[in-house]
């Protein structure tokens, strides 16, 4: 099974189910009848499920009768070894706490919002006399005005391009602004009024910024009409250059209005959620409207059980979605939301103002949910088609490598080093659902790896990886085993892999080494497997292309990790280990002597010549490099 699969299949053992129910029953005795949140934990203390309740005792008591629960819930009860509880004042508080814990703990039996990245904003800075209009991600702690969120960086960049064309605002950093002595290219192509060299006054530039602010607040029509009047006036004065400038600015505004095809009258600040279900999977499409403008949309594919109710999915999704995002006053949905009144109360408490959840039946808002649902349906169809292609590819892999069944998890291994230094191993993971980046691992060399010995690094990496799996199994902890190992390399790497596995008593794991062909050219790869002659696949074989992508991904991850480690190491010197030598003294020593090696070779008298280095400190440095007592 893949790591994203919430649980194993099949009916749980009645004995373990009774054991889990007994654990829950023992907890019920001391539970209050107040609202709160409960957590079910397995024997390793890992969270299985986080739930909320209006009445904790009644809700948890239901789990003491597993025969009345679904097979899925019975499996969860069977795995429960302990429980934790938190009481709250209201059910709304419990809902917010539940959403935060689910996001933090990612329990395997909960509905999970995946790919929950932060959204970008447009920022008009407030800490400069000539404000900059720029893209912003992360905490909104910089002084200024924020507009958004936008669904993607592309949507922000597109809007910023219009702002610069239409309102001639600067896009340079404050540092560059301060250093300018003459206008840059942006001024020459009429994308900026060059406030950096006083081509406009502070008051004139503030008027430009105010127009941009009005545009972001949804008043673009009035601005466009004003530009049209000024263009006409300039034309009548025969100032055709100024008229052309206004023409270009009007075109920029018209372009963004044409691209924002979904703008509904009467909607100021709202998010639209539409869920579509098919074959046990779901897609939630989210559209963002701010100041009456469409700020883009994004598709999400929450993780949940196939038989989960749509109202429960939408409710869990919305609760988790707004943990780290601003909440609009209006949330428009295409389906029912479980415990909607509690959800509205929770969002109101978090936002500090009234929040309404609407399920429109007709009118413009219904048009919006229909459009969002159509996008959700199409996005889910594309994802399922991709999943089917991926699944078919795994079936073909089984045929090519003679496996008993299609693999559910492939682990790909690669090494990286430069001239034998900073040796590092990397593992990437692929499943029928795609690359599982949260399962990637890197291994810094710990043993005696001399001269970039790839074989020794491969043995060490695989030994550490599978020793941890064996240890987890021995302790009764979850252990996710691969069904196929793909090694970047040839016969030597294959032998090193088999040697490491044999030492651990693992002899039934399929292993394939993939080596580039003559001249290291892609398309002529050779495959090495134990008990089988090396072989190649036709250059146009889709299986070969798929394996190349996996190999390249492992190489990319190894190289990226290696560069990060090397960059960190470049900034380190032996001086970092000398007691009493901080960043300032280290800098002074390196500037004076030129290198850490020269510092190590210097005498006490020479060291004392450096600013900030006393005789006592100089003797300490000398003692460190010469093994003498300071």
Q: How many CB atoms lie within 10 A of CB 131?
A: 22
Which candidate, 155, 146, 139, 157, places its Cα nearest to that of 121? 146
> Looking at the domain 270-381, which fold is it?
Nucleotidyltransferase; domain 5 (3.30.420)
Where exactly are the structural domains of the chain?
A: 14-105, 121-259, 270-381, 410-559, 574-626
The whole-angstrom separation of Cα 413 and Cα 441 is: 10
Above 80 in pLDDT, residue 563? no
pLDDT for 258 equals 52
**Cα dihedral angle (136, 139, 145, 148), rounded to 10 degrees?**
60
Bigger pLDDT: 449 or 294? 294
pLDDT at position 449 is 61
- Closest to 169 measured CA to CA, from 127, 131, 222: 131
**Structure tokens, 530:** 């134990």
Is residue 440 predicted with pLDDT exceeding 90?
yes
Q: Predicted confidence band at 567 (pLDDT cuts at 50, 70, 90)? A: low
The pLDDT confidence band at residue 82, using thresholds 50, 70 and 90, is: very high
| Mean pLDDT calculated for residue range 410-417 | 87
**5 falls in which pLDDT band (50, 70, 90)?**
very low
Percent of the chain with pLDDT over 70: 89
pLDDT tens column, 343-360: 999 999 999 999 999 999
What are phi and psi for residue 88, nearest 5 degrees?
-130, 170
- Cα-Cα-Cα-Cα dihedral of 369, 370, 372, 377, to 10°? 140
* pLDDT tier at 629, thresholds 50, 70, 90: very low
316: three-class secondary structure by DSSP: helix
CA distance 539 to 537: 6
> What gap in Å lies between CA 415 and CA 488, rounded to an integer?
8
Residue 447: predicted pLDDT: 64
Lowest mean pLDDT among 46-60, 430-444, 511-525: 511-525
pLDDT digits (tens, 9 = 90+) for 289-329: 887 777 888 899 998 888 889 999 999 999 999 988 889 99
What is the structure's pLDDT at 254? 72
Q: Decide whether 270-381 matches 574-626 in CATH topology.
A: no
Residue 84 pLDDT: 93
Q: What is the pLDDT of residue 1?
A: 33
CATH of domain 574-626: 1.10.150.20
> How does pLDDT run across 482-510, given as a tens digit for each residue?
999 999 999 999 999 999 999 999 988 99
Radius of gyration for the alpha carbons in the chain, expressed in angstroms and rounded: 31
Exposed/middle/buried for residue 450 (C-beta within 10 Å: 0-12, 13-18, 19+)? exposed
The CATH number of 410-559, from 3.30.420.340, 3.20.20.60, 1.10.10.200, 3.50.50.60, is 3.30.420.340
Confidence category of residue 154, pLDDT binned at 50, 70, 90: confident
Round to whole Å and give the CA distance between 241 and 329: 45
When the pLDDT of each residue in the chain is averaged and rounded to a whole number, the result is 85
| pLDDT category of residue 427 using cuts at 50, 70 and 90 | very high
Banded pLDDT at 217 (limits 50, 70, 90): confident
pLDDT band at 88 (very low <50, low <70, confident <90, very high): very high
CA–CA dist 132, 43 (Å, integer): 54
For 14-105, CATH number? 3.40.1440.10
CA–CA dist 367, 76 (Å, integer): 41
What digits encode the pLDDT tens for the residues 101-114?
998 888 989 999 87
d(CA 397, CA 541): 11
Where does the pLDDT of residue 180 fall: very low under 50, low under 70, confident under 90, or very high at 90 and above?
Answer: confident
Q: What is the pLDDT of residues 229-280, one digit of tens each?
A: 888 888 888 878 778 877 878 877 776 655 554 556 667 789 999 999 988 8
Q: Are 345 and 90 in contact (CB under 8 A)?
A: yes
Coil, strand, or helix at residue 406?
coil
Do 80 and 108 form a contact (C-beta atoms < 8 A)? no
Instruction: Evaluate if residue 120 carries a pLDDT over 70.
Output: yes
């Amino acid at each position: 099974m893949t790591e994203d699969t919430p649980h194993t299949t099949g009916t749980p053992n009645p004995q373990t189910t009774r054991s889990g129910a007994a654990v829950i029953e023992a907890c019920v005795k001391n539970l209050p009848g107040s609202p709160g949140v409960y957590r079910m934990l397995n024997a390793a203390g890992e969270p299985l499920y986080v739930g909320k309740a209006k009445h904790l005792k009644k809700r948890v008591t239901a789990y003491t009768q597993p025969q009345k629960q679904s097979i899925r819930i019975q499996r969860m009860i069977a795995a429960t070894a302990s429980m934790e509880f938190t009481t709250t004042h209201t059910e709304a508080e419990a809902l917010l706490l539940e959403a935060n814990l689910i996001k933090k703990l990612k329990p395997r039996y909960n509905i999970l919002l995946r790919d929950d990245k932060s959204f970008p904003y447009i920022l008009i800075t407030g800490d400069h006399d000539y404000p900059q209009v720029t893209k912003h991600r992360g905490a909104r702690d910089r002084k200024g005005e924020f507009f958004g969120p936008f669904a993607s960086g592309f949507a922000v960049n597109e809007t910023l391009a219009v702002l610069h064309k239409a309102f001639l605002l600067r896009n340079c950093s404050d540092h560059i602004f301060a250093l300018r002595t003459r206008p840059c290219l942006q001024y020459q192509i009429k994308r900026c009024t060059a406030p950096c060299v006083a081509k406009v006054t502070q008051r004139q530039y503030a008027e430009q910024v105010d127009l941009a602010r009005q545009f972001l607040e949804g008043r673009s029509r009035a601005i466009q009409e004003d530009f049209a009047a000024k263009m006409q006036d300039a034309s009548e004065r025969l100032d055709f250059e100024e008229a052309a400038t206004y023409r270009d600015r009007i075109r920029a505004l018209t372009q963004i209005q044409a691209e924002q095809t979904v703008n509904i009258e009467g909607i100021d600040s709202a998010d639209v959620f539409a869920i579509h279900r098919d074959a046990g999977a779901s897609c939630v499409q989210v559209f963002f409207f701010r100041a009456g403008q469409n700020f883009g949309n994004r598709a999400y594919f929450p993780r949940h059980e196939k038989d989960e109710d749509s109202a429960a999915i939408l409710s869990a999704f919305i609760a988790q979605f707004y943990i780290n995002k601003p909440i609009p006053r209006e949330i428009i949905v295409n389906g029912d939301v479980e415990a909607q009144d509690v959800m509205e109360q929770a969002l109101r408490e978090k936002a500090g103002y009234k929040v309404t959840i609407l399920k429109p039946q007709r009118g413009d808002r219904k048009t919006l949910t229909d459009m969002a649902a159509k996008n959700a349906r199409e996005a889910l169809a594309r994802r399922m088609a991709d999943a089917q292609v991926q699944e078919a590819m795994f079936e073909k892999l089984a045929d090519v490598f003679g496996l008993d069944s299609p693999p559910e998890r492939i682990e790909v291994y690669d090494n990286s080093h430069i001239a034998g230094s900073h040796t590092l191993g990397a593992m990437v993971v692929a499943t029928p659902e795609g690359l599982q980046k949260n399962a990637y691992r890197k291994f810094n060399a710990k043993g005696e790896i001399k001269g970039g010995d790839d074989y020794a690094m491969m043995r060490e990496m695989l030994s550490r990886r599978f020793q941890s799996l064996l240890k987890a199994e021995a302790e009764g902890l979850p252990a996710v085993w691969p069904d196929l190992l793909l090694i970047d390399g040839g016969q030597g790497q294959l032998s090193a892999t088999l040697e490491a596995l044999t030492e651990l008593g693992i002899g039934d794991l399929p292993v394939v080494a993939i080596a580039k062909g003559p001249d290291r050219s892609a398309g002529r790869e050779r495959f090495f497997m134990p008990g089988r002659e090396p072989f190649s696949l036709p250059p146009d074989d889709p299986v070969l292309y798929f394996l190349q992508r996996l190999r390249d991904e492992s190489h990319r991850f190894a190289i990226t990790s290696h560069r990060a480690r090397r960059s960190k190491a470049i900034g380190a010197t032996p001086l970092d280990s000398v007691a009493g030598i901080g960043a300032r003294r280290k800098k002074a020593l390196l500037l004076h002597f030129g290198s850490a090696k020269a510092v190590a070779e210097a005498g006490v008298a020479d060291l004392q010549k450096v600013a900030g280095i006393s005789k006592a400190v100089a003797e300490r440095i000398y003692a460190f490099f010469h093994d003498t007592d300071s």
